[in-house]
Structure formats: C-alpha cells, structure tokens
C-alpha cells in the first residue's frame, strides 16, 4: 500500500495579462501535443496518482464490490425500449443479459414479432476498451443505416453505412464527425458534420452513396471560431436544419430534403443574443424565439417567406411560462414549458384549442420522448419523479388519455411508498428563494444527525430535474437524505435564473449551493461535516468553489472531470471549447473586467493553504470538454497547500473521456467507487 501520495514537481511558469501576473507551477502537466498525450513525465505522474488511488481504496474493495452488486442488481439485465414506428418498420434497442451495450433491431410494422438485428453494439465494441454510439439514422426507404461511433472517448466520431437489405457495411468511412447524419429524400445522400483539429463542428458536408468521401460537397462552413455548427431535420422531414451559434446566439438555415443541391437559406440572420429554433408543418415554419422576451415566444411564418418581418405570434413571451422546446405534428403543435419550475406539456390543436397534459404527481420530470413520425395523433412522453421510476407514456392527443407503455423495472425490488420527496425553498444570502428537491426514507426523523448527499450543477441554463435514480437507493437505504439544489446558472425557474448565474453574476451559483446546505442544516436535515457533495464538469467547478468558500461544511467531496482552472482555460483561445465558452464565462483576453471576475472565483486560482475536506477527483485523458490537466493541476496544487490529513484521491481514466468508462456496468463500477469513498470518509463504513 502506498502510504504517501505522488508529489508533482513545481516548475516556474509565468504569464502577464492586463498588467497582472499569473504564476502556474503546474502548467507543465499540459501536454503541448494535446489531444495526443505522449509526454512520459506527465503520463508517469497520472499513473502514479492512479496507483495511489488503487492503493488507498484496496482496503475498501469488499465495500466497492457490495455496492456494485447492489447497483447492478437494480438493472434489468435484458432491458429493452418500447418499440417506435418509423416508416414501414418498428425499431427497438435491447440489452442481452450481462451485455454492456445495446443491440438495435427492427421489424416490419405488420409483423412486430419479426425483429432482426440491424446494429450490434457489443460486436462493434468488442475490440475496444471504450465504445459510444453517437448517432443513428435510417434512410427514408429503410434500406440504409448510417451511424457514428467513438472508440476512445475523444468524441471524434467515425461514420459508417450499412445496407440493411444485404447486411453489407459499405466501404465509405467518414471521420472525424459528431452527431447523427441526416438523410435526404433521394435515399442516396446524407448530410453530416465535420469537426476540425480543435474539435469544433465547423462544416456540413453531403455524401452520396457510392462516391469517394474525399469528394463530398461542403454544404456549409462556419468561419467564426466561436460558433459550433449543428445538424437536424424538421419533424415533417421536409427540411434539413443547419444551426450555428454559441450559448447566446443562433442562426438557422434550411435546405429542402428533396433538393440536397439547394443552397442553405437563412431563417433569421444572426444577431448577438438572439436564440431561436425551428420546426415545420403544413406549409408553415414554427419558431421558438427570444427576440421579444427572454423566456421565448412562439411564432409562425409562411414556408416561402420565413423571415422575421413575416413572423406572427402564437404564444406571447411570459414571465411565468418558460418555453423550452417545440415539436410539430401534422395536426398538432407540442410545446415543452416550465412553469414555476415544473415541467409542462402544452398541446395546441388545429382548431385553436389547447390544453396541458395532466400528470399524477405534484413534482416530477416530464418531456417529449421518441416520436419518429409526423402524421400521428399519439405523443410519446417520458416521465419520472424522485420516487417514481422512469415511465414511458403514450398520450392520445384527442382523448387526452395517458397509456403506460413501460415502467422501469428494478429486479432487486423497490417500494415507492417507503420513500418521501418534498420540494423546499432555501433562502440565499441575497434574499432569493432557491428550490431544493429532497428525498429520504419514510422513517427519517429530523435530528440533525443524518448524512446528506447534496448535488448541484448550475451552468449553461441546464436544469437538474427532480428525477429518479436507482443508484441513489444505496445511499437512501443507509439513512442518507438526498437533495438537489436548483441553483442559479441553470434555467430551473426560467431564463432569468440562468442569466443570474453567469458572467459577472457567476458567484450567485456558488453562494446558492452553500446557502442551500446551510438551510438544510438549519432545518435539521443534517449538520456540518455530515454532508457529501458531488458535481461534474461545470458542477465540478461548483465543487471547487464550494470547498474554497465553506470547507467546514463538507464531510466528503466528489468532483468528476471538474472545470476548476477557469481563468487559464478562458485565456487559451486554442483550446477546443474556449471561444464558444466566452459568452458563458467572459473573455478575459480582451476584457480586463472579465479577467478580474473570473480570477476572483476560479477554484484553481482561489485555493489557499489550510484544511480541506476528503476529496475524490476524476479526469479523462481523452476528454475534449474538460481537459485532463485541469483536475491534475488542481489536485497537485491541493496536495501542496492542504494542511490536513484528510484523504485526497485522483483517478484518471486513461482510455476514456468526459463521461468516464463506457458500458452500463463499467460506469456503475465507478459509481460504486465514488459511493464507497463517501461512506468511508463520512464514517458510515469502516473496513
């Protein structure tokens, strides 16, 4: 057993911005050849940290194994999706017993039992330590399947094409790409995205089957390095959608799916701060836009003149109703909304009538599910709550009846009546009320002595829904309270909730999280030092900031792929995500004020000598989102500054990326490791 952790060398490195000097003695951990990491000193350091992690967790292996079996025991081994109809076929994914990856099958709609495998993920993954299916698209006539896959976690995907009639995989490989290809109506051409060396989707190309891929036509290329290109299609399948933008600005173009040679036509020319998305039905475009209200309005425009001058309002912008999504069917318009933080599905009929889908619980997550067809009167929905497992509904748009198609099975058993959930409001230090979703065992009593697991994210306008998790049962059944802090930076309460946690208001996010913890302490859910906190990516940044602000509150911290070196990353315009991230965090290169406010909260820059709680930090060597050196530098600096004996562990997935190990059971094993770390460091379990 390694009794001492690795000590990273400190090497002088200094840069000056706006007259301010930044010292970074761990700068050397960034391999200059990234995304290829070959520096032997860097790799040796990461391997040493991994060895120290394994050494320290070795004594707790029985607990990890126990937790892993609990987590795995709640997974239906032969799980399968509800089949969905697309064209003449029904499509479905399924796991074979103990398989890490799905198989995809289809059957003629008239013979639903005659399922045949069209894509075998386990076979594709067999030669790789990592595998992820990125996109899946079938030609309109059902003959060809185009899919993309990633085999090392770097999120640079390879597109392949299979003839579903003959079973032949065509010799027409395309890389590096991202997302799903989109087929044209000729059944021979598809559009796809290309990424550049900096992992930015910057081009849409068209490939015609049978032609050399190096001759593929460039349909669109985005010159602005701060904009990412996206690709989709309308629900009617009449138009291919090309989107480009950053986190606050959108520009969308359309190409008729029946005329792939047509030049893209812009719906509304980009202007800073204008976001919109588009769908189509019966000769008109439907557009969700924030041009007059930050919570968006819904407009419609003629198919032949969709410019803003011709937009007609269907739903006005509202402080109460936050319009989040849109889908058009032949006879219906479906709008995803959030009202007072609660998901709502609005149904608008051709005759002008409208209603909301009624769900059975007062707090829940609900969203549009897999709806592959246009001319239907049934809507597939996804639903769950903190105590209700994931449920698939079919909703009859005419009769307004919900039909349950699938409820997540938990083979080891689950009784929802033994758990209680509530939605609380916690006062932040500036007087704002922050929503908190809480779940615990029915026999829980507030004494202030319970362990609490507090989760947060708070960035990019991404709300954390009060949804179900089989994994968290391992904590709840050990007496934990589980809480989600719906902090500013997400869009839980509307777009303003997002705006109030970004740029120069970023510290609201961190303050909200700490204040939620303090409120739960005041309400006797727990007490200082008995709280485990966890977050990933931007949520990992939250972990670093919360530790810097109130280290005495936390008994255990798990920071997955944490975005903790905010200032240095935002100062490096050559990194994959930096230019597109400036609207979220600020541009410290050109703006001295942005430099100062980022520096004032960036966890890596704000660490000081002192005591820190027990921490587990993870990274992915191939991660293009949060590069591996951010958590590596953070841990190295922590080891230099911390004055306590609390456990600090760092684990790098050497063959994976942002999401950790692939495969449903491999990923569960990493959850088991994190839970074991929490249980041990909180004193719930001793070896």
Strand order in the sheet with 391-396: 365-368, 378-384, 391-396, 401-407
Residue 430: other Cβ atoms inside 10 A? 10
Q: Which of 537, 602, 659, 662 is catalytic?
A: 537
- Tell me what the pLDDT averaged over the chain comes to: 95
Tokens of 104: 């995809």
pLDDT of residue 636: 98
* Domain extents in the chain: 1-76+565-651+667-687, 275-408
- Reference 458, options 520, 525, 515, 420; nearest CA is 515
* pLDDT tens for each residue of 216-255: 999 999 999 889 999 999 999 999 999 999 989 999 999 9
Burial class (CB in 10 A: 0-12, 13-18, 19+), 423: middle
Helix (H) or strand (E) holding 355: strand 354-356
pLDDT of residue 685: 79
pLDDT bucket at 463, cuts 50 / 70 / 90? very high
Please give the Cα distance from 425 to 434 (Å, whole number): 5
From residue 451, give the alpha-carbon distance in Å to each of 3, 444, 549, 675.
28, 11, 21, 13
Pick the CATH number of 275-408 from 3.20.20.80, 3.40.50.1820, 3.20.190.10, 2.130.10.120: 2.130.10.120
Mean pLDDT for the stretch of residues 609-638? 96
Sign of the torsion formed by the C-alpha atoms of 134, 132, 667 and 371: positive
pLDDT of residue 409: 96
- Return the half-sphere exposure (C-beta side, CA atoms, 13 A cut-off) of residue 246: 19
2 has a pLDDT exceeding 80: no
Q: Which of 226, 343, 658, 662 is catalytic?
A: 658
* pLDDT tens for each residue of 101-144: 999 999 999 999 999 999 999 999 999 999 999 988 999 999 99
Domain 1-76+565-651+667-687 grouped into CATH 3.40.50.1820: yes
26 has a pLDDT exceeding 80: yes
Q: Does 492 qualify as catalytic in the annotation?
A: no
pLDDT bucket at 687, cuts 50 / 70 / 90? low
pLDDT of residue 237: 96
Q: What is the pTM of this model?
A: 0.94
* pLDDT tens for each residue of 509-558: 999 999 999 999 999 999 999 999 999 999 999 999 999 999 999 999 99
* pLDDT tens for each residue of 319-331: 999 999 999 999 9
pLDDT of residue 18: 97
pLDDT bucket at 623, cuts 50 / 70 / 90? confident
Q: Does 430 qualify as catalytic in the annotation?
A: no
Mean pLDDT for the stretch of residues 596-621? 97
3-state secondary structure of 308: helix
pLDDT of residue 59: 94
Q: Does 293 qualify as catalytic in the annotation?
A: no
Mean pLDDT for the stretch of residues 150-162? 92
Q: Which of 469, 623, 659, 662 is catalytic?
A: 623
676 has a pLDDT exceeding 80: yes
């Amino acid at each position: 057993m390694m009794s001492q952790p690795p000590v990273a060398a400190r090497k002088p490195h200094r840069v000056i911005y706006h007259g301010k000097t930044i010292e970074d003695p761990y700068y050397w951990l960034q391999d200059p050849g990234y995304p290829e990491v070959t520096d032997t000193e860097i790799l040796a350091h990461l391997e040493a940290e991994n060895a120290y992690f394994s050494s320290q967790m070795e004594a707790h292996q029985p607990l990890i194994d126990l937790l892993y079996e609990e987590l795995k025991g709640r997974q239906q081994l032969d799980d399968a999706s509800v089949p969905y109809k697309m064209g003449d076929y029904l499509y479905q994914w399924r796991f074979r017993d103990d398989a890490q990856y799905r198989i995809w099958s289809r059957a003629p709609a008239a013979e639903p039992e005659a399922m045949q495998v069209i894509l075998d993920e386990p076979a594709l993954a067999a030669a790789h330590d990592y595998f992820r299916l990125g996109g899946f698209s079938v030609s309109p006539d059902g003959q060809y399947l185009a899919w993309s896959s990633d085999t090392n976690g770097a999120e640079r995907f390879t597109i392949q094409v299979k003839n579903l009639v003959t079973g032949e995989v065509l010799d027409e490989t395309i890389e590096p790409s991202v997302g799903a290809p989109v087929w044209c109506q000729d059944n021979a051409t598809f559009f796809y995205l290309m990424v550049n060396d900096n992992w930015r989707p910057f081009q849409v190309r068209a490939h015609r089957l049978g032609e050399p891929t190096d001759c593929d036509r460039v349909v669109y290329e985005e010159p602005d390095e701060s904009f990412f290109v996206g690709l989709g299609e309308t629900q009617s399948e009449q138009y291919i959608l090309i989107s480009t933008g950053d986190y606050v600005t959108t520009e969308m173009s359309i190409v008729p799916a029946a005329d792939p040679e047509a030049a893209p036509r812009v719906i509304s020319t980009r202007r800073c701060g204008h976001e919109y998305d588009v769908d189509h039905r019966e000769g008109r475009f439907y557009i969700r836009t924030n041009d007059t209200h930050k919570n968006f309005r819904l407009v419609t425009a003629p198919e032949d003149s969709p410019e803003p001058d011709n937009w007609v309002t269907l739903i006005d912008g509202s402080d109460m109703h936050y319009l989040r999504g849109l889908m058009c069917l032949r006879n219906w318009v479906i709008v995803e909304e959030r009202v007072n933080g609660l998901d709502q599905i609005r149904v608008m009929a051709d005759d002008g009538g409208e209603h909301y889908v009624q769900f059975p619980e007062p707090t829940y997550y609900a969203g549009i599910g897999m709806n592959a067809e246009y001319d239907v009167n049934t809507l597939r929905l996804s639903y769950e709550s903190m105590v209700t497992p994931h449920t698939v509904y079919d909703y009859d748009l005419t009769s307004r009846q919900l039909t349950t198609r699938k409820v997540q099975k938990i083979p080891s058993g689950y009784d929802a009546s033994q758990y209680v959930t509530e939605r609380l409001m916690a006062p932040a230090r500036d007087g704002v009320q922050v929503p908190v979703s809480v779940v615990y065992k029915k026999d829980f009593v507030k004494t202030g002595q319970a362990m609490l697991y507090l989760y947060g994210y708070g960035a990019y306008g991404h709300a954390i829904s009060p949804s179900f998790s089989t994994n968290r049962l391992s904590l709840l059944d050990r007496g934990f309270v589980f809480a989600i802090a719906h902090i500013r930076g997400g869009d839980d309460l509307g777009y303003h909730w997002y705006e109030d946690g970004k740029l120069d208001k970023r510290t609201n996010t961190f303050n909200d999280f700490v204040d939620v913890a303090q409120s739960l302490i005041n309400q006797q859910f727990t007490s200082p030092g008995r709280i485990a906190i966890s977050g990933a990516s931007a949520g990992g940044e939250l972990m670093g900031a919360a530790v810097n602000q109130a280290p005495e509150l936390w008994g255990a911290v798990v920071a997955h792929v944490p975005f903790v070196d905010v200032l240095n990353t935002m100062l490096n315009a050559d990194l994959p995500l930096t230019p597109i991230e400036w609207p979220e965090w600020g541009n410290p290169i050109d703006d001295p004020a942005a430099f100062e406010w980022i520096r004032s909260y960036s966890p890596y820059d704000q660490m000081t000598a002192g005591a820190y709680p027990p921490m587990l930090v993870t990274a992915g060597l191939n991660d293009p989102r949060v590069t591996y050196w951010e958590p590596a530098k953070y841990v190295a600096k922590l080891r230099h500054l911390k004055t306590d004996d609390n456990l600090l562990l760092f684990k790098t997935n050497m063959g994976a990326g942002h999401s950790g190990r692939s495969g449903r059971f491999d990923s569960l094993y990493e959850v088991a490791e994190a839970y074991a770390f929490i249980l041990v460091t909180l004193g719930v379990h001793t070896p």
